[in-house]
Amino acid sequence: MRELFAKLSVLTLARLAGAVCMFLGTLAIARGFGPQMLADYATALALTSVTATLMLAGFHAFAPILAAEYRARDDWSLLRGFAGTGQRNTLLVACVLSALAVWAVLAGPAAGDTRLSTILLFAAAAAPGMALVMFNGGVLSGLQHQRAAQLPDTLMRPALSLAAIALIVAIAPAGALSWLLGAIVAMVWIAVFVQAFHLRRVFSRAPEAAPSTEGARWRRMAPSWMTIALVWDYAIELFVLAAALIAAPAQVALLHICFRYRVLAGFGMRSIYAVCQPKIYTSVTQKDDAATDKLIAMTNGLSLAYALAAFVGLALLGQPLLALFGAEYADGLGVLLMVSASFLVRAVFGPAMAVLGIHGAHGAIARVLAASLTIGVSAAMIGYGSFGLMAIAGGYTLANALAAAALWWIARKTTGIDCAAWARIPRLSPPHIPSAT
Q: Which of 138, 135, 142 has its CA nearest to residue 57?
A: 135
d(CA 421, CA 425): 8
| 141 pLDDT higher than 50 | yes
Let me know: does 106 contact 60? Beta carbons within 8 Å: no
Let me know: does 25 contact 42? Beta carbons within 8 Å: no
Least confident of 7-21, 28-42, 320-334, 421-435: 421-435
So where are the chain's domains? Answer: 2-222, 246-428
Least confident of 55-64, 277-286, 298-307, 396-405: 277-286
Phi and psi for 238 in degrees, rounded to 5? -65, -40
Q: Report pLDDT digits (tens) over 86-121.
A: 999 999 999 999 999 999 988 888 888 889 999 999
Model pLDDT, residue 2: 55
Question: What angle separates helix 35-56 from helix 235-246, to the nearest 10 degrees?
Answer: 130
Give the mean model confidence (pLDDT) for residues 285-298: 81
Q: Which of 234, 184, 257 has its CA nearest to residue 52?
A: 234
d(CA 146, CA 7): 8
Give the mean model confidence (pLDDT) for residues 41-65: 92
Alpha-carbon separation of residue 412 from 353, 364, 396, 415, 419 (angstroms): 11, 13, 24, 6, 7
Question: What angle separates helix 333-349 from helix 249-265, to the nearest 10 degrees?
Answer: 40
Model pLDDT, residue 429: 45
Average pLDDT, the chain: 88
Model pLDDT, residue 437: 38
Rounded to 10 degrees, the C-alpha dihedral 292/278/356/56 comes to: 180
Percentage of residues in the chain having pLDDT higher than 70: 93
Confidence of residue 8 (pLDDT cuts 50, 70, 90): low
| 134 pLDDT higher than 60 | yes
Pick the more confident residue, 236 or 355: 236
Pick the more confident residue, 36 or 416: 36
Instruction: Look at the chain and count its residues.
Output: 437
| 409 pLDDT higher than 90 | yes
Model pLDDT, residue 7: 53
Q: Which of 28, 24, 52, 48 has its CA nearest to residue 38?
A: 28
Model pLDDT, residue 388: 94
Model pLDDT, residue 5: 52
Q: Report pLDDT digits (tens) over 200-255.
A: 999 998 888 889 999 899 998 888 888 888 888 889 999 999 999 999 999 999 99
Percentage of residues in the chain having pLDDT higher than 90: 58
Model pLDDT, residue 4: 46
Confidence of residue 423 (pLDDT cuts 50, 70, 90): confident
Pick the more confident residue, 73 or 435: 73
Q: What angle do CA 191, 193, 198 make, to 5 degrees?
A: 100
Model pLDDT, residue 9: 67
Model pLDDT, residue 6: 55
Model pLDDT, residue 428: 43
198's enclosing H/E stretch is helix 176-204
Give the mean model confidence (pLDDT) for residues 183-198: 96
